[in-house]
Every structure is written in C-alpha cells, then in structure tokens.
Amino acid sequence: MKFNIELNPYDKLVKQGPQSLTTPELVSIVIRRNNKDSNSLTIAESLVSEDSTFYKLASAKSIAEVKANGITAQKAATLLASIELGKRFASAEAMSRTKFTKPADVAAFIMPQLRYETQEKFLAIMVNAKNKVISTQEVSRGSLSSSVVHPREVFFAAIAAHAGAIFVAHNHPSGDTTPSGEDISLTIALKKTGDVVGIPVLDHVIIGDGVYYSFAEHHCL
C-alpha cells in the first residue's frame, strides 16, 4: 500500500522546483524559522488569503505593512526584500527585450510600476537608436498631486546611459490622466532641452488607473 506523504514547502521546492509551490508555500519559505517550522505556512496563508491582501503584500513599502501575527520585523524585512528582488528581476527581463513602436508599448511597460503609486513618480526611460530600452531612472517622487522635475536631472540620467532618445512618464494618483498645466509646461521644456543636447524626447506618458495619456498620440510633441 502506498501512502501520499505531503511534503513541507522546503522539501517540495527541493524535489519538485519552485514552480510547484503555491503562493502561501513560497511565502512560508521566506519567513520560516527552520526547515520544520509548520507554523510559517499557516501565517503565510493568512497573509495571502484574499486577493486584496495579496495585492497589499505585493505593493507594500514598509515593514509595518507586512508585519502580522507571528512575523517578526526581521522576517518582514526579509519578505519585503524578496518581493523587491522579484520585481527587479521581472523588470530586468522585460527591459532586455522591450522595443517601443507606439505609445501603448510605453504605457504597457511602465503601467505596473506606476499604476498603484500613491505619490506622483516621474521616470525617464532611456532607449537606443532602435528604440530598445537601455534603462529606466526615477527622476523625482512628489506628493499626492505633484512632483518637482528639472530637465537637468532628466538629461543627466540620459547622458550617463548614452541614450539615443528618451521617453518620460509619470503617474496621477487620482487615476485621471488629463494633463495639468505643469505637465504641459514640463513637456515643452523637456522637448526644447532634448533638441539642444541631441537626445530627443519621443513621448511623455501619464499613467492613471489602467489608462494612459500620450502627448505624442495627441500630437503635442
């Protein structure tokens, strides 16, 4: 007679690979205290028991947002670091094969990074002569409704990356992508500076809640 012995998450990962684990099992490995710590799986299941809870975990920015019953500050920090590493690996993988051919490509690339930000965040996306992404750089992070951006900071990053051109993007935490007067003025200033230094600004994309506004698409560049 054969018995199905349920493997603990650690042994399951070793024998079957990380892709075989559920999300709670993956989290439990990060926060476990030892290989036989069965309580960590219970804690992990409580952390990701609901879609909304899982989203909060994925978008957490501080230890206080992760800490729950049974999770120490040290384990919360480990979990935060693991989540951030995952985001960076995913971003690096996407960046290595990303080429922009239309504004929707820019929006799709940057949407995951900006859509759920609670503060305005301004990014410069450096591309080569074939519009393939070289790197992205956070230029400014502001308040709930604005961020302070100077063309000097944008083009310092572009020159350092040896960019052939740049795209810029920022989010509106309100979800409304209608450009403000400041957005329009900044776009004009960036375009003029780009023309002078020989690194053209190809588009300025505003990210909202699942929607975007492209200055290029609206013939404003």
160 located within any domain: yes
Range of the domain at 30: 9-93
Instruction: Return all residues near 74 (Cβ < 8 A) that are at least 6 apart.
Output: none
Q: Domain ends where: 61, 93, 125? A: 93
Question: Phi and psi for 12 in degrees, rounded to 5?
Answer: -65, -40
For residues 137 and 172, membership in a common domain is answered with yes
Q: Domain ends where: 93, 118, 139? A: 93
Q: How many other β-carbons are positioned within 10 Å of the β-carbon of residue 170? A: 24
Task: Say which DSSP state 7 is in.
Answer: P
Task: Say how many domains are in the chain.
Answer: 2
- The pLDDT assigned to 49 comes to 64
Q: Domain ends where: 43, 74, 93? A: 93
Instruction: Return all residues near 18 (Cβ < 8 A) that are at least 6 apart.
Output: 26
Residue with the two structure tokens 């054969």: 2
Instruction: Return all residues near 134 (Cβ < 8 A) that are at least 6 apart.
Output: 126, 127, 128, 161, 162, 163
Per-residue tens of pLDDT for the chain, all 221 residues? 444 556 777 787 778 777 777 877 777 777 775 445 556 777 676 666 655 455 566 667 777 776 655 577 777 788 778 777 776 666 665 555 578 999 999 999 998 888 888 889 999 999 999 999 988 999 988 765 556 788 998 999 899 989 999 999 999 999 999 999 999 999 999 999 999 999 999 999 999 988 999 999 998 88
CATH of the domain at 128: 3.40.140.10
For residues 189 and 109, membership in a common domain is answered with yes
- The pLDDT assigned to 2 comes to 47
For residues 88 and 183, membership in a common domain is answered with no
For residues 86 and 130, membership in a common domain is answered with no
